[in-house]
Structure 1
Amino acid sequence: MNRYVSLINETVDYIEKNITRALTLEELAEHFYVSAFHFNRIFKTVVGISLKQYILGRKLTQSLERLDHRDAAVIDVAYDFGFEYPEVYSRAFKKQFGISPSVYKKEKNAGVRVEKIAVVERDIINYKGTLVLKESFVYRQAIPLQGRSIEVNRGDESFAVDLNRFGSQFLTETGQYEGLDHNCFFTIVNCHGSEDEGYTVFYGKQTESNNFDQRLTVRIIPEGWYMSFTYRGDMFNIGETFEEDLYRLIMIKEIEIKPIGIGMINIYRADYFQTNAVEILIPVKKRL
């Protein structure tokens, strides 16, 4: 496992075990033998938010369970989760959830919770003093695919369920189709470019012959240069993490994306369900 990812995995577990204490950046940095400056930088790169934000969010989220008990006083909950003053806890609570702790005790309706982070495993390196995603450049021949598409919206509550169901149905239905490579499958993801978070996702398998199945749609992954990355984990956790990683990498290394009508290609090989390893390809302009 990448050393930066491993460090933050250990950090997240340490925070969970000590969530009721007044945890600080300095304490955690000392515990893991890293300077406070670098520790906070590593955490924000791997997780996407600052260490302070994450700890506060987890404290407030876990305090909800205590507040659910009828005899739990707000002042006691504040002290139990390491807040020096109840007023500080109440202000932070209202900022996070939109209501005060006392109102929550009556209504039991809180806003956005901060769940324990699922750290996505990928390769992060130190590039000229800046932490970035490690990329490799590969030249791919054209890959003919046959498959089906679905349109989804990441803002919908059913987003993950709809994609999982569609993907499972595709793999089951095409499992016996002749002329397809069943050792891996692909997804091609295209963003609609609008504010409604709409996507078209094409599920496909590589064609092994020139006989195309009329029940499926043909798509070609064009020949050319691609950036290649390997991620491990649930694809829904990988998605947002990868977007942030890619944006940072492009800005720092000034890499030019090639517009070919394909946003992102995900390759799931035969051992995916055992390893959770996904290869991600992004089309780029010719490498010199």
Structure 2
Amino acid sequence: MDHYEIIEHALIHIEDNLQHPISVDSVADTFHMSKYYFHRLFSAMMGCSLNQYILSRRLNASLGFIQDSSLALTDIAYQLNFGTQSSFTRAFKRKYRISPSSLRQGQMTIPQSPIPSVVKRPVKNLNGDIVTEFTLTKLESIRVSGIAFEVDLASDDYKTKIRSHAQMLLNQMDETIHGSCYMIYSNCQPGSTRFKALFGIPRDIQIDEPYFFTVDVPQLFCAKFKYFGDLLEIGDVLKTDYARFLKISKQETEDSHIELIQAFDDIHNLESAYHIYAPIKKLPIDSEI
């Protein structure tokens, strides 16, 4: 099995055994792996430790018992291996900002979350740590023509807005046009959740629309990552991967107005694999890892 398939099977195994004792040793043994390697792999793929994940899934399972059954809270804590009701209540309040008893009284409703999907991306061992595979490389300057717009990542409809503007460009293009395309994100101001975005292709095209722009992207020194899946659905994973990369590789982010570039090989196949370019400070000697 590939590494992400191992983790996918591990998540199912954990979900099926939430009412039993689970440890790094027991899960690793199930997949005939070293507990040390398995724990590093799990943390790299899921962005949290195995114990943190198990706790979150037990709390998630408790929602069903609290809202849909008459089991006493003490029995729920016992069934899900919390040890005591007080430890269960403390963990529940930290995660959901409400006590189990208040939830049961109907003060609010909290839906259960499905087993999270495992984002497919290559990983590598870097000095004993497992990280999402990266390359340090130069992204040469390019001129990109396309649809420009603003999105607020704090709003609920930003995903719909990004997809609709990308489709707007595709609808304007001749089907004979093939090649790579880019989604370029730049922050409006430090600390803001509003981003300027441009979805375009590296060639001259003319569209008679007010939001059509041509921009010159300067040469950038970047960390390059490869992912499979929708960027809008893996945002938290990418954020965790990037923070882990910076910590382990001891790289620093570049002070650039461009935050992120998503590059697809084929503009007509946006469901394919793609690369993420994140600007970082240039190394003293140009190199590619």
Q: For residue 186 of structure 1, what is the aligned residue in structure 2?
A: 182
Matches within 5 A, 1:198-237: 198-207=194-203, 209=204, 212-215=206-209, 216-223=212-219, 225-237=221-233
Provide the C-alpha distance between the structure 2 equivalents of 1:247 and 1:70, rounded to a whole number of angstroms: 41
In the alignment, does 2:58 pair up with 1:62? no
3-state SS of paired residue (1:107): coil
In the alignment, does 2:251 pair up with 1:252? no
Aligned residue among 240, 258, 266 for 2:236 = 240
Q: For residue 130 of structure 2, what is the aligned residue in structure 1?
A: 131
* RMSD between superposed Cα atoms in Å: 3.0
Deviation at 1:15, TM superposition (A): 1.3
Provide the C-alpha distance between the structure 1 equivalents of 2:256 and 2:102, rounded to a whole number of angstroms: 52
Deviation at 1:115, TM superposition (A): 4.9
Number of residue pairs matched by the alignment: 281
Judging changes above 3 Å, is the alpha-carbon distance between structure 1 residues 232 and 127 closer, same or farther for their aligned structure 2 residues?
A: same
Greater Cα shift, 182-191 or 104-113: 104-113
Provide the C-alpha distance between the structure 1 equivalents of 2:162 and 2:231, rounded to a whole number of angstroms: 11
Q: For residue 265 of structure 2, what is the aligned residue in structure 1?
A: 269
Q: Deviations over 1:224-263 (max 9, x none)?
A: 6544321012212332322332233234334455555322
Provide the C-alpha distance between the structure 2 equivalents of 1:35 and 1:59, rounded to a whole number of angstroms: 24
Greater Cα shift, 234-243 or 120-129: 234-243
Q: For residue 24 of structure 1, what is the aligned residue in structure 2?
A: 23
Question: Normalized against structure 2, the TM-score is what?
Answer: 0.82
Q: For residue 13 of structure 1, what is the aligned residue in structure 2?
A: 12
Unaligned runs of 5+ in 1: none
Greater Cα shift, 108-117 or 140-149: 108-117
Q: Deviations over 1:55-84 (max 9, x none)?
A: 111111122122222533323333332333
Q: Which amino acid aligns with 1:71?
A: S
Provide the C-alpha distance between the structure 2 equivalents of 1:112 and 1:193, rounded to a whole number of angstroms: 35
Question: Normalized against structure 1, the TM-score is what?
Answer: 0.82
The answer on whether the counterparts of 1:99 and 1:110 sit within 8 Å (CA) in structure 2 is no
Provide the C-alpha distance between the structure 2 equivalents of 1:176 and 1:168, rounded to a whole number of angstroms: 13
Q: Which amino acid aligns with 1:189?
A: Y
Provide the C-alpha distance between the structure 2 equivalents of 1:283 and 1:100, rounded to a whole number of angstroms: 43
Provide the C-alpha distance between the structure 2 equivalents of 1:163 and 1:22, rounded to a whole number of angstroms: 43
The answer on whether the counterparts of 1:192 and 1:200 sit within 8 Å (CA) in structure 2 is yes
In the alignment, does 2:119 pair up with 1:120? yes
Provide the C-alpha distance between the structure 2 equivalents of 1:141 and 1:195, rounded to a whole number of angstroms: 28
Judging changes above 3 Å, is the alpha-carbon distance between structure 1 residues 206 and 2 closer, same or farther for their aligned structure 2 residues?
A: farther
Deviation at 1:159, TM superposition (A): 2.6
Unaligned runs of 5+ in 2: none
What percent identity do the matched residue pairs reach?
Answer: 23
Provide the C-alpha distance between the structure 2 equivalents of 1:23 and 1:109, rounded to a whole number of angstroms: 30
Deviation at 1:112, TM superposition (A): 9.4
Greater Cα shift, 41-50 or 221-230: 221-230
Greater Cα shift, 251-260 or 22-31: 251-260
